[in-house]
Amino acid sequence: MLAAYERATAALAKAQNVLVLTGAGISAASDVPTFRDAQTGLWAKYRAEDLATPEAFARDPNLVWQWYQWRRQLVREAQPNAGHYALASLAQAKAVSLVTQNVDDLHQRGGSPDVIAVHGALFDNHCLNGHAYQAETDGLESPPECAQCGALVRPGVVWFGESLPEHALQRADSAVRMAELALVVGTSSLVWPAAGFAESAAARGIPVIEVNPQATPFSPQATYHVRGLAEQVLPALIGTALESPTT
């Protein structure tokens, strides 16, 4: 009787079209705090959930802007980890649709060719009226004003209570429909609609492998729960799967 890990590896070896869903856990080993980690240093007295909202930005644009500037610097100094690189190697061998809730750019810097970022991107900026803002903002202590309309510029990430980018949602939905296997990595599966992608994949009856040191609300729906760290599990799981003969 093959252990669950070996069965998960065999299922990954066999699948050609793979949906990968990642959350903050895959960047934890790159020293990018997960969303529900306690904040550190100057930001220790704030909860991320209280800063990542349109109301917080309206109330104190400078504070919210400075929090994002701090996070951007943190990510600039971070490096992709073995989990990011393993997923990039998977994309070289199979048709991988990588859907991430993360706003960091570590998947891209780790070599993943096509990242569907359903919560936006930390280094993007647009004004409150939606005009893209391309000028450099590194080092700015306050949000600049839009050159087109004068509205304040804000980070291009999805805030609590905001809808997800339509194009990314459509791409994620179609990836869920096409997948022969789903790999759910480093997410607490608490935030919707992103958490729904794993559920929809499981509902299709395809194998779903969850990689997380903890159990999550999604765990009962996963076919296999590999209880471990992404930066350790993914290189082994993907490495073995890519060495196996695909039947």
Residues with catalytic annotation?
A: 119
- What track of x and - describes contact with ligand OAD for positions 153 through 192 (by CB under 6 A)? -----x---------------------------xxx-xx-
Tell me how far, at minimum, the Cβ of 68 lies from ligand OAD, in Å: 11
Question: Whole-angstrom Cα distance, residue 74 to residue 230?
Answer: 20
The distance of closest approach from Cβ of residue 1 to ligand OAD in the complex, given in angstroms and rounded to an integer, is 27
Is residue 22 helix, strand or coil?
strand
Of the pair 134, 163, the CB lying nearest ligand OAD is at 163
> Which range of residues in 8-16, 122-130, 147-155, 229-237 is near ligand OAD by CB under 6 A?
229-237
Reduced to 3 states, what is the DSSP secondary structure of residue 241?
A: helix
- Output the residue with the shortest Cβ distance to ligand OAD: 25
Q: Minimum CB separation from ligand OAD for residue 113, in Å?
A: 21
Provide the CB-side half-sphere exposure for 143 (13 A, CA).
Answer: 25
Residue count at the site for ligand OAD (CB under 6 A)?
25
Among 16, 31, 36, 132, interactor with ligand OAD by CB under 6 A: 36
- Measure Cα distances from 234 to 90, 108, 141, 184, 231 in Å: 10, 17, 38, 11, 6
Q: Quick one: which of 54, 213, 235, 239 contacts ligand OAD (CB under 6 A)? A: 213
Cβ 245 to ligand OAD shortest distance, Å: 28
Q: Binding marks (x or -) toward ligand OAD, 112..151, rule CB under 6 A?
A: -------x--------------------------------
Q: Which is nearer to ligand OAD, 29 or 64 (CB)?
A: 29
Task: Report the largest interatomic distance among the alpha carbons of the chain, rounded to a whole angstrom.
Answer: 65
Give the strand pairing for 153-157 and 120-127: antiparallel
Shortest CA distance to 187 belongs to which of 167, 168, 173, 208?
Answer: 208
Report the chain's terminal Cα–Cα distance, integer Å: 19
CB–CB of 118/41 below 8 Å? no
CB of 76 to ligand OAD, least distance (A): 19
89 Cβ contact list (under 8 Å, min separation 6): 111, 238, 239, 242
Residues lying near ligand OAD in the complex (CB under 6 A) are found at 23-25, 28-29, 34-36, 52, 101, 119, 158, 186-188, 190-191, 211-214, 216, 229-231
